[in-house]
């Protein structure tokens, strides 16, 4: 049972345009969400996060939106650059415990065309 879902395995966008990556979750107890970026043959790197008390968090070209009622979050990249081409994973954690264990989605491969 996939608690965090990324229903688009891949996305292709033109350089300079907006990339929108989507993520849905089923567990209403999740209260912290993260996006990771992964290049081939490298480990994932943290990109941006959002707490459930917010509905938007922005960092440069990257903005994450959270819609709690719909259990949906999205990552917007604008403008998209060829170097953004990578696999993007969303992840969620639930409160409780000394360590935030993350549940990851299956990833979306973003290709930014020059």
Partner 1 sequence: IAGITQAPTSQILAAGRRMTLRCTQDMRHNAMYWYRQDLGLGLRLIHYSNTAGTTGKGEVPDGYSVSRANTDDFPLTLASAVPSQTSVYFCATSRGNLNNEQFFGPGTRLTVL
- Residue 105 interacts with partner 1 (CB under 8 A): yes or no: yes
Q: Identify residues 45-104 at the interface with partner 1 (CB under 8 A).
A: 45-46, 49, 51, 89, 91, 93, 95, 97-104
Residue 93 CB, nearest distance to partner 1 (Å)? 7
Closest CA to 108 of 52, 35, 25, 3: 35
- Residue 110 interacts with partner 1 (CB under 8 A): yes or no: no
**Rounded to whole angstroms, how far apart are CA atoms 29 and 9?**
25
Gyration radius (Cα) of the chain, Å: 14
**Rounded to whole angstroms, how far apart are CA atoms 21 and 94?**
22
Name the residues that contact partner 1, by CB under 8 A: 4, 6, 32, 34, 36, 41-46, 49, 51, 89, 91, 93, 95, 97-107
């Amino acid at each position: 049972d996939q608690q965090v879902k990324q229903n688009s395995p891949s996305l292709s966008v033109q350089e300079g345009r907006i990339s929108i990556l989507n993520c849905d979750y089923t567990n209403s107890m999740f209260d912290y969400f993260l996006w990771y970026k992964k290049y081939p043959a490298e480990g994932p790197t943290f990109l941006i996060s959002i707490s459930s008390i917010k509905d938007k968090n922005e960092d440069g070209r990257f903005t994450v939106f959270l819609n709690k009622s719909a259990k949906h979050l999205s990552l917007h990249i604008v403008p998209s650059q060829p170097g953004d081409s990578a696999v993007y994973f969303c992840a969620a954690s639930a409160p409780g415990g000394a360590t935030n264990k993350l549940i990851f989605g299956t990833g979306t491969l973003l290709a930014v065309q020059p």
